[in-house]
Amino acid sequence: MSAVVAGASAPVATTTRRPRGGLFRAILRNRKAVVGAALLLLFILLAAFPGLFVPSAHHDPQAIGDLPLQHPSGSHWLGTTGLGQDVYAQLIYSTRESLVIAVVAGLGATILSVIIGVSAAYLGGFADDGLSMLTDIFLVLPTFPLIIVLATYAGKGNLTVIIIVLILTGWSYGARQMRAQALSLRNRDFLESARVRGERSSYIIVVEVLPTMISLIVANFLGAALYSVLTAAGLQFLGLGDPNSLSWGTMLYWAQNQGALVNGLPAWALSPGLAVALLGVSFALLNYAFDEISNPALRPVRRRRARSAS
Amino acid sequence: MRYLIRRLGFFVLTLWAAMTLNFFIPRMMPGSPEQALRERFSKGGSVVTPEQLRTVLAEFGFDPGKNLMLQYLEYLKSMVTGHWGVSIGSSLGAPVTSLIGSALPWTLGLVGIATVLAFVLGTLIGTVAGWRRGGLIDGIVPPVFIVTSALPYFWVALLLISLFAIGSNPILPNDFNYDQGLTPGFSGEFIWSVVKHGILPASTILVTAVGGWILTMRNNMVTTLAEDYVRMARAKGIPGRKIMFGYAGRNAFLPNLSGFAMSLGFVISGTILVEYVFNYPGLGYMFYNATVSTDYPLLQALFLLVTLAVLICVLLCDFAVFLLDPRARTKG
């Protein structure tokens, strides 16, 4: 079964345990990580204190104004919607829901992949066969169509449903990676000694195995969050979200619905998409940086390798 | 041989799982198709008799009086034999199979060409970037394509529309598959129209899909280049180009092949959004329409078809890896 994703980007197991603080310093030294982290920090600020970034006249982003379909101007930086709402205010206030979807769904999917992947590796035998089979099946099922089917049946617009569906469809890739790494750890000495000490399996998994997998887990969370951002925005864009909610996908839905592009208002149609893209980019940059940190072979090497290759 | 048989078993099992999901999801969820149907019909102003409703639902496989297990078996049988029922959506009463048949070629042409192109281009660029580690291309590739691979499909589509299709003199059309005034046929005018209408959606897919291939191929190359046989080839003085493609590239490419099959699933996901933005009458747009009009039979059939397509691709790639990679043969 393993052939399905064998090595699609097989993680190289980090064999040494990193000293505390090493991960943090490694992030600071990686340019991609710094850019990604800065972007993410900005979005967290926007989500936490949207009022700080919006002129006080537009503190209610849903307020219906009397100037619909305005071009960007001094009073409406990105113009107005078909109902005269301020696009810029909507954009800033939408950060929160979009970020929450990404983080919650990303966390949920990661937790599920850790549980399934690690227990498959640790239990072995029949349980492993069953869990691996389940993982492989979810891996090849086309997720976005499945999400659309689920969201349609479950009633459109329910945020909880969207998040649960994102988790259910987003865990399989990570579970496969977790299983691979946990397998490579399984027969290490420090685990053997814990077993000899008579520790329970649950203790060994939580205290001994998981800490060594931290960088893979973080990378996984970032990947799952990226997937959730893009997928949720796509769902909402198609009108399968709550049309009254404040999120980038919903903004895009209304922009498309009210013909923003045809009416010559590209700022309205493009800015929420740009926000989705930037949040996605920040996750992707961090994810890639973590790959480099946990797999030294991928780090940019400037002089030595370049010479030997030519 | 055992390897192939195992893969075939996986194929059947996954298909069965997809069909089972397809059957149980609507039955687990709140709201019933009966309700949805009644609302649909009454919205159109026509009064529907309980008999009519029951007939339509029976076509769809819903019969509240019947044993669930029996319904399930019947459903499986009709899915396998291609009796996918009739649409209960906007094209009420049309057989699902013929609806799909009319949309399929457009998606296959558009998405098929764009996906293969993205894969070939991405693999080539990735090979070169990984080979010239730290060189000019490698300096540009990772940062740029990390960014493009994180862009939402639909946003790229909107961007392209606003750049090329909107304004005082639009260069390219932004919706449909050909000029609606033309009659389909093998005329130059018609073909040109089809090509013109395909450029923007295809570019959207290309832009968002190529980055992933470049990055994975580059990383595979980098890992492969550290192998001993590459060092040995260098020591033997084999020309660089030959090592790049024949030694390292060939082996770095194999894992990508199975990734390619799986990515088709994601491309189909992307098509829904791309075809929606461009009003392109393919399967993706049909999928969208089916959700809007809660056309359960069509939705079921489309999901099954998409799953089947991905599974067939995965299976074909397994065969290809089996043929190309002696290691896979001996392992199984």
Residue in A closest to B154 by C-alpha:
A234
Residue A57 is assigned to a structural domain of this protein: no
For the cut 70, the answer to whether the pLDDT of residue B229 exceeds it is yes
State the Cα–Cα distance between residues B221 and A296, nearest whole angstrom. 14
Give start and end residues of each alpha helix (H) in chain B. 2-28, 33-43, 50-60, 68-80, 96-131, 136-149, 153-160, 188-225, 228-235, 240-242, 250-277, 283-292, 296-324, 326-331
Phi-psi region of A157 (alpha: psi -120 to 50; beta: other; left: phi over 0): left
With a threshold of 0.90, does the pTM exceed it? no
Q: What values do phi and psi take at A86, rounded to 5?
A: -80, 120
Tell me which amino acid residue B201 is: P
Question: Considering the domain boundaries, does residue A301 fall inside one?
Answer: no
What ipTM describes this predicted complex?
Answer: 0.80
Residue of A nearest to B10 (CA): A1
Q: Of A1, A4, A34, which to mutate for an interface test with B (greatest number of B Cβ within 10 Å)? A: A4
pLDDT tier, B135 (very low <50, low <70, confident <90, very high otherwise): confident
- Partner-chain residue, chosen from A1, A151, A226, that has the shortest CB–CB distance to B150: A226
Buried b (16+ CB within 10 A) or exposed e, B178-189: beeeeeeeeeee
| CA distances to A22, A177, A214 from A13, in Å | 17, 10, 11
Residue A3 has pLDDT above 50, yes or no: no
Q: What average pLDDT does range A11-37 have in this prediction?
A: 66
Q: Residue A222 maps to which CATH number?
A: 1.10.3720.10
Contact B11, B315 (CB under 8 A): yes
Quick check: B149 and A234 CB within 8 A? no
- Chain B residues close to A233, C-beta within 8 Å: 152, 154
Q: Which CATH number describes the domain made up of B104-293?
A: 1.10.3720.10
Q: What is the pLDDT of residues B195-206, one digit of tens each?
A: 888 888 989 888
CA dist B281 → A249, B156, B159, B175, B265 (Å): 23, 19, 21, 9, 19
Subunit contact A143:B306, Cβ cutoff 8 A: no
The domain of A279 spans: 30-46+88-296
Mark which residues 160-199 of A lie under 8 Å from B by CB.
none
Inside any domain, residue A169: yes
DSSP bridge partners of B95: B86
How many percent of chain A have pLDDT more than 70?
Answer: 86
Residue A66 lies in a domain: no
In a domain, A4, yes or no: no
Element (H, E) at A176: helix A172-185
Question: In chain A, how many domains are there?
Answer: 1
A258 burial level (CB within 10 Å; 0-12, 13-18, 19+): middle
The pLDDT-based confidence of A103 (bands split at 50, 70, 90) is: very high
Confidence band, pLDDT 50/70/90 cuts, at residue A221: very high
In tens, the pLDDT along B240-280 reads 888 888 888 888 888 777 777 766 666 666 688 888 888 88
In contact, A237 and A150? CB cutoff 8 Å: no
Q: What whole-number distance in Å separates Cα of residue B80 and Cα of residue B264?
A: 22
- Three-state DSSP class for A238? coil
More confidently predicted of A129 and B86: A129
CB contact under 8 A, B303 and A145: yes
Cβ distance A144 to B270 less than 8 Å, yes or no, reads yes
The answer to whether residue A285 sits within a structural domain is yes
Closest listed residue to residue A292, CA positions, set B143, B118, B140, B213 = B143
Please name which of B201, B228, B196, B181 lies closest in space to residue B285, comparing C-alpha atoms.
B201
Q: Which one-letter amino acid corresponds to residue B63?
A: D
Q: Which sequence spans correspond to the domains of chain B?
A: 104-293
In-domain check, residue A118: yes
Question: Hey, which of B172-176, B184-188, B302-306 has the most confident mean pLDDT?
Answer: B302-306
Q: Is some CB atom of chain A closer than 8 A to the CB atom of B284?
A: no
Using CB atoms within 10 Å of the CB of residue A167, give its burial: 0 to 12 exposed, 13 to 18 middle, 19+ buried. buried
Instruction: Select from B262, B327, B322 the least CA-distant residue to B4.
Output: B322
A69 occurs within a structural domain: no
